[in-house]
Amino acid sequence: MDKKSLTAVARQQLKLAGSASSGRSSQTIYGGHSRSLRQTVVGLSAGQSLAEHDNAGEATLIVLSGKLQLVSGDNIWKGSTGDLLVVPTARHSVEALEDVAFLLTVAK
C-alpha cells in the first residue's frame, strides 16, 4: 500500500507554483497516461489559470486549499476548501481566485 499526505503534496505544489514563472505546478500522485485512472495535485497562484481545454475522460476536482472557479461557456462554478466539483464534459478552464491546490481525478 502506498500512502501520501494530500495536505503535504498540496503545500509543496503551492510553494512550487509561487516560484514558477507560469504560477502553476502539478504532481501526478497515482496512475498516469498508461492507466485508466490518474490523480494529480495541482497548485495555482492567485490569478493564474489552466486555459480552456477538453476532457480526456470523466473528471472531478476536490479543492484541498484556497478558492477557484471552474468555467465552461457561460457556466461558472466556484469551489473552496473541501468542495468537490464534477468537471463538465464540455470545454472548460480553471481559474485561481486565490492561491489554490486541488486534486484532479480523471478516468478515461
pLDDT reading at 102 higher than 80 = yes
Q: Please, are residues 34 and 73 in contact by the beta-carbon 8 Å criterion? A: no
pLDDT reading at 56 higher than 80 = no
Question: Whole-angstrom Cα distance, residue 61 to residue 26?
Answer: 13
Q: Decide which of 35 and 74 is more confident.
A: 74
- Please state the domain extents for the chain: 6-107
Q: Which fold does the domain 6-107 belong to in CATH? A: Jelly Rolls (2.60.120)
Q: What pLDDT shows up at residue 40?
A: 96
Read off the pLDDT of each residue in 20-47 and give the average, rounded to a whole number: 94
Q: What is the pLDDT of residues 65-81, one digit of tens each?
A: 999 999 999 999 999 99
Read off the pLDDT of each residue in 71-94 and give the average, rounded to a whole number: 96
Read off the pLDDT of each residue in 76-90 and give the average, rounded to a whole number: 96
Strands 67-72 and 75-80: antiparallel
Closest among 8, 27, 102 to 59, alpha carbons compared: 102
Q: What pLDDT shows up at residue 57?
A: 81
